[in-house]
Amino acid sequence: MSEERGKDSLSQMSLSEKHSVRSGSHVSSSVSLKSDWSKGDVPNFSEKTPSSNKRLQYETLDSDVQTHRNHENFKHNLLGIFQDLESKIITFLKNELEKFKKILQKENTQHFVKDFIENRSSIKETALDLTLHYLREMKQDEAADALEDELLFIPQLKCGLKKKYQCVFEGIAKQGDSTLLNNIYTDLYITQGGSEQVNTEHEVRQIEIASRRHEAQEIQVDFKNLFEAPEQDEVIRTVLTKGVAGIGKSVSVQKFVLDWAEGKENQDISFIFPLPFREMNLMEKEKLSLMDLITKFFPETKGLNLTRRNQFKVLFILDGLDECRLPLKFDCNETWRDVSSPASLDVLLTNLMKGNLLPSALIWITTRPAAASKIPPDCIDRLTEIRGFSDAQKQEYFKKRFTDQNLANTILDHIKQSKSLFIMCHIPVFCWISATVLQNILEEKINNDVKNTQADEISKTLQESNTEDTPKTLTQMYTHFLRFQIQQSRRKYDGEYTPDVSWDKDAILSLGKLAFHQLGRNNLIFYETDLEACGIDVYKASVYSGMCTQIFMEETGIILGTMYCFVHLSIQEFIAALYAHLFLDINKTSVFDHESTAQENRNETMIDLLKTAVDKALESDNGHLDLFLRFLLGLSLQSNRRLLRGLLTQQDGNDQSNKEIVQYIKQKLEDNLPAERSINLFYCLNELNDQTLVKEIQTHLSKGSLSSGDLSPAQWSALAFVLLTSEEELEEFELQKFKKSDECLIRLSAVIKTSRRAL
């Protein structure tokens, strides 16, 4: 009976399983089986193996059938799925295409570009790729190029330029110490035009001349609008901006590019490519196309084809023409028009500037005045000149530099007391040097006097100080600056500060030799070959730039390796003058006679060196040794040499040498020197603390007892110097107050040029 009951159950299970397969239900089978088994004994699985195997077969069959049904359902629903998918894709593409259309129509372009960049994803890039592909397949290359520019090349270029230009080292290369440019930038005084003749005079002299000009006589230019023509029918393609070393040319370029990259200014320009000459110098022997050149400096533009973009504004900024070591053969270089064909860098640049290569491109060239003649006048549409800081901008600079406004005003008042210092503050770098030195002197005085801790007392400290420690001349300012930087380097490397300076004479001798010899060649940028010629290896140069981060800079170019320079031309001239004194101390001969080994050139004295330097400076056609001479004379004073104790020897009989060189300069003033040359000699006398001629003329002027008919050549020069350096601006100069003569007109011509009105 039990066996029959088991057979009935199994038979019943089979029928039930078959029913469950048809119905698709797993539940009825298991319930039925469990119900039947619950009526009798629990089956012995070891004895019923065939039944167990059958059950597995049924379950597998059930799973296969279910999979088949699911697949059938999927096939049945596939049409609906793809209809829904098609709708979503079409909606997405329509939205993206609408944005692309608005970008090409210049409707709210910045908003859509910003949205694309900030919410960039693979799906958005795919939509762009599809759009570009089909636009070009439809021969709509202009639309494809414009879209690719706006959404790929321009944003990538702007991003790269923003990262590069957003920070600035304030005239220094101090590692890890940078400032956001927008936080410290002070507008510069930029004028339209300038002398059409090449100004080859020493740059400090040019600043002194410029400082005496009246702003009302000149047309001021906003550098943000360099390419905006004053007249409607005028087209400005090439702008040449000149300015002396350290006046702010490269910082102006940096600000211009940063404003464009941040979307603030000149958004009508599609591409800006800043190409510094100092980095292109070492490519002189290479042959490459203009596109290769751009790609080397800006890898993110790879794939850009400028030949199809003549309808867009492209700006090339050629920064630092004075640093260019290429020949720039405008007359004999072959004509070149293909941006994709390789040529020498000289051919590319001359054809770019002449307008043969990419004639629609804008060109902005910056240079020191002495190098402006490298560009033919017919290649220039607008000439501008950076004059540095106006008097108002000097005040703005110091107010930004110091949070304590009393301190800022006190330092500015001190600088105004010295005409030569105040004039030099037209150069932003010199403002920074002055602020660094005077702040350091204040801090030392305050540390020595614990009572002076209040802010108002701090600002009085410098004002009340009349000691020789407070710099009143250029030489004193730069000597303090050198001392402070060496002390800072010792603090950096040794971890402690001492008032006495531990000089590295070998390092200063090496840097001095480099400064002196490159000054003679009018070079500000040095490469490894220049260093090796002065016996400096690359490792030592890196050490010097690390120890003297605010004097000697090491720069790494994007692609072309390492370059070196002094922070400013005036620092190079100061180090060169210091080297001349060191050379005399060590070798007992003049640095000007270093190549001679004749015995008669040995055992030269200080006065011999100074007289030779005066003669050489007066022989110079362009005055390139003028500032070097001022520093050389200033460093002969015992008071200044004491600041360099341990580096320069303390000279016996210094007072006698001082008197002798003063007399020698006054004798030179009796000669018929050009006005500007004699003015430099008065600045030299100022460095030697001699104002006898100036005070004599001032006394006569105040008493009204000056008879121009009785003036000696030296007194004529003193008169011109006094009038030019007067604190009061010459609104009107009355020549008739002096003797009416050709000599008077010639002697005072410099005064006449800088007055608003001359009678």
What pairs with residue 242 in β-bridges?
367, 385
pLDDT by residue (tens digit) across 413-444? 888 887 778 877 888 888 888 888 888 887 77
Other Cβ atoms less than 10 A from the Cβ of 46: the count is 7
Per-residue pLDDT at 179: 73
Distance CA 691, CA 687 (A): 10
* Alpha-carbon dihedral angle through residues 17, 19, 23, 25, given to the nearest 10 degrees: -30
Q: Which residues contact 660 (CB under 8 A, 6 or more apart)?
A: 607
The radius of gyration of the chain's CA atoms, rounded to the nearest angstrom, is 40
Q: Which two tokens stand for residue 578?
A: 């210091």
What is the identity of the amino acid at 220?
A: Q
What pairs with residue 168 in β-bridges?
179
Pairing between β-strand 757-758 and β-strand 287-288 as defined by DSSP bridges: unpaired
Per-residue pLDDT at 257: 94
Distance CA 433, CA 566 (A): 13
- Average model confidence (pLDDT) for the chain? 75
What is the identity of the amino acid at 459?
A: S
What pairs with residue 565 in β-bridges?
525, 553
pLDDT by residue (tens digit) across 137-167? 898 888 888 888 888 888 899 999 999 888 8
Closest CA to 147 of 111, 183, 106, 187: 106
Asked if pLDDT for residue 259 goes beyond 90, the answer is yes
Asked if pLDDT for residue 29 goes beyond 50, the answer is no
Dihedral of CA 13/14/20/26: which sign?
Answer: positive
- Work out the average pLDDT over 598-617: 79
Strands, DSSP E only, in 667-759?
732-733, 757-758
Residues 601, 589 contacting (CB under 8 angstroms) = yes
Q: Which residue has the tokens 């050379």?
A: 583
DSSP 442-472: HHHHHHH-TT--SHHHHHHHHHH--STTS--
User: Considering the chain, what percentage of its residues have pLDDT values greater than 70?
Assistant: 69
Per-residue pLDDT at 238: 94
What's the residue count for the chain?
759
Give, in degrees to the nearest 5, the angle at Cα 526 between 522 and 528. 145
Per-residue pLDDT at 1: 44
Asked if pLDDT for residue 354 goes beyond 90, the answer is yes
Per-residue pLDDT at 35: 39
Asked if pLDDT for residue 364 goes beyond 50, the answer is yes
- Work out the average pLDDT over 651-679: 80
pTM for the full predicted model: 0.69
- Work out the average pLDDT over 535-551: 65
Phi-psi region at 229: left, alpha or beta (left = phi > 0; alpha = psi -120 to 50): beta
* More confident call, 438 vs 758: 438
Distance CA 55, CA 169 (A): 83
- Work out the average pLDDT over 119-128: 81
- Work out the average pLDDT over 514-538: 80
* More confident call, 700 vs 106: 106
Residues 691, 685 contacting (CB under 8 angstroms) = yes
Q: Which two tokens stand for residue 584?
A: 């005399």
- Which pLDDT band holds residue 117 (cuts at 50, 70, 90)? confident
Per-residue pLDDT at 298: 92
N- to C-terminal Cα separation, the chain: 147
- Work out the average pLDDT over 303-330: 83
* More confident call, 242 vs 119: 242
Q: Which two tokens stand for residue 439?
A: 């702040």
pLDDT by residue (tens digit) across 547-601? 555 667 666 665 556 778 887 788 889 999 999 999 998 988 888 876 444 445 5
pLDDT by residue (tens digit) across 381-412? 999 988 888 888 888 888 888 878 888 888 88
Per-residue pLDDT at 739: 58
Per-residue pLDDT at 466: 45
Asked if pLDDT for residue 647 goes beyond 70, the answer is yes
Per-residue pLDDT at 634: 93
Per-residue pLDDT at 23: 38
Count Cα atoms within 13 angstroms, Cβ side, for 2.
5
Specify burial of residue 727 (Cβ count, 10 A radius: 0-12, 13-18, 19+). Answer: exposed
Specify burial of residue 619 (Cβ count, 10 A radius: 0-12, 13-18, 19+). Answer: exposed
Per-residue pLDDT at 730: 46
Per-residue pLDDT at 350: 95
Per-residue pLDDT at 441: 82
- Work out the average pLDDT over 247-251: 84
Going along the chain from its start, the domains and CATH numbers come out as: 2-79 (no CATH), 186-388 (3.40.50.300), 396-630 (no CATH), 691-758 (no CATH)
pLDDT by residue (tens digit) across 462-509? 455 445 567 888 899 899 988 888 877 776 666 655 666 778 888 888
Q: Which helix (H) or strand (E) holds 437?
A: helix 428-448
Asked if pLDDT for residue 174 goes beyond 50, the answer is no
Pairing between β-strand 287-288 and β-strand 343-344 as defined by DSSP bridges: antiparallel
pLDDT by residue (tens digit) across 31-89? 333 334 334 444 444 444 455 565 556 566 667 767 777 777 767 777 888 888 888 88
